[in-house]
Amino acid sequence: MLAALQPWLGELAALAALLAAALYLWFSRRYAYWANRGVAHRPPTFPFGNIKQSVLGRTRFEFVVQDIYNELRGEKCFGMYGFSRPLIVLRDPDMIRLVLVKDFDAFNHRGVPYNEQEPLNHNLFFLTGAKWKRLRSKMTPTFTTGKLKMMCQRMQECGRELVEVLAEAASQGQVVEVRELSARYATDVIATVAFGVECNCQRNPEAEFRQWGRKVFEPTLKSRFAMLMRDFLPAVARLFRIGAGTEEVSQFFRNMVRETVEYREKNGVTRSDFMQLLIQLKNTGFVEDEKAAARPEQSKDADNWKLSLDDVAAQAFIFFVAGFETSSTTMSLALYELAINPDVQRRLQEELDATLHKNAGQLTYEAISEMPYLDKVVAETLRKYPPGSILVRKCMRQYQFPNGGPLIDEGITVVIPTYAMHHDPDYFPEPDRFDPERFSEEQKAKIPPYVYLPFGEGPRNCIGMRLGLLQTKIGLAYLMSKYEVQRCEHTKVPIKFSNVSFIPMPAGGVQLRLAKRA
């Protein structure tokens, strides 16, 4: 057998060498992209480009970007490569403003590959062009102040439940894992506000909704690799059918939404929640009271367009994805910083006590809104630990940056390094220090525009920003009004982050001691 193949082995070896040489030459040509345009860059390594450490799960992508960001200080932008794909990273606030706001039409695509055949992907995060614009205009009225006040009542119930559930642990001074604690609170909030489901995760950690939430968010090296392949080598991902592996999750959430909508419509049930607003968009095409205020320039087609049931499921799902993990991680990291900085915790509790006294012991929407130090604590948490640690946009046409900036081609990925800017001492002195006073009115005025971007900026900023902030503030306010958190022997300082999670997530959780306030 071997003898029969012998004549072919030399030819096969030569062919393999030829293919390897061709591949190397092709990569080398691709790796000349930024040099040919005179853009500063770190030399890439075949075949990973500049993301080898991230691909191998040794560090997070935003930390790779931050490392190059710090190395190339003084540059307004710099180039990178994700495998063979050129990326341009912006560090100049004026260039960031052009991409996110002024020339938004040239960068209105997030540049994130997605499967259009998956119904849950037809949501505000993934959609582009006219479909995104139409849906965004329909969804915007669901996040007005009036609608937030309506949903706030549901969140307050979850906040009170949080206090009750922790009473025994606090009385005994137990060590608790506050990331799981925050996740269960956030699951209860999102389940009731987005899906109209009372899942009681705070009392039952293994409730079905919590289990499905874990399937969506629990990171693995496999899921991280799949994401990187879809982002940087989409053709290879398609060839080998590397998908998100979320078919079961999709079926669960679509069934839940269908059953909820059918039950409400059949029985005439209405609730003060996000799902009810989506049902209005499905049945009439408008959120209640929106039609009278609709812009006169809207076309008749846009005026009559309604959400399908799958559209409702897609928006409810992205509401869950965006509102659950980001809010729960922010809340747990805020508690971590309060435990590490007891002076900050005491000042926050003093503000809480004064607010409760003024409002007859009630933490209403108005009461939460009137707490400036709570707002500073959350803002500083989002500065130090931004959930969207990078922002990505895709160039939709050849674009020339002004004032001697580079010319980039259609399809080039633009990266805005949120994490790196939030930790840049030129913008935030002593960036590793937790200092809520950075966000006093006087200090905020000194922060240049477009360097603090926890929720993005421009037309594609986070539509649910105010709701996410409210959810986090309510959880912190209820918990801090009754208890205090303390550093213990299990608290990891400094915090270590998972190298494979989609957003910066503490590896191994956050262990803190819980105690009743004196």
**Residue ranges at the known binding site for heme:** 462
Residues 6+ apart with CB under 8 A from 210: 183, 184, 187, 199, 201, 204
Q: Distance (Å, rounded) from C-alpha 505 to C-alpha 32?
A: 35
Q: Look up residue 167 and give its two tokens.
A: 């009473």
Does residue 470 contact residue 374 with C-beta atoms inside 8 Å?
Answer: no
Q: Which amino acid is at 310?
A: D
Question: How far, CA to CA in Å, does 488 sit from each of 167, 485, 500, 512?
Answer: 19, 9, 26, 6
From the annotation, which residues make up the binding site? 462
Rounded to 10 degrees, the C-alpha dihedral 95/98/100/104 comes to -150
- List the alpha helices (DSSP H) in 31-128: 33-36, 52-55, 61-71, 93-97
Per the listing, tokens 């900023």 go with 461
Q: Distance (Å, rounded) from C-alpha 268 to C-alpha 478?
A: 33
Q: Look up residue 54 and give its two tokens.
A: 């991230």
Q: Distance (Å, rounded) from C-alpha 125 to C-alpha 68?
A: 28
Q: Distance (Å, rounded) from C-alpha 451 to C-alpha 418?
A: 7
Q: Look up residue 504 and give its two tokens.
A: 């910066």
Strands 391-394 and 413-416: antiparallel
Radius of gyration of the chain, Cα coordinates, nearest whole angstrom: 25
Q: Distance (Å, rounded) from C-alpha 456 to C-alpha 390?
A: 9
Length of the chain: 518
Per the listing, tokens 């309506």 go with 150
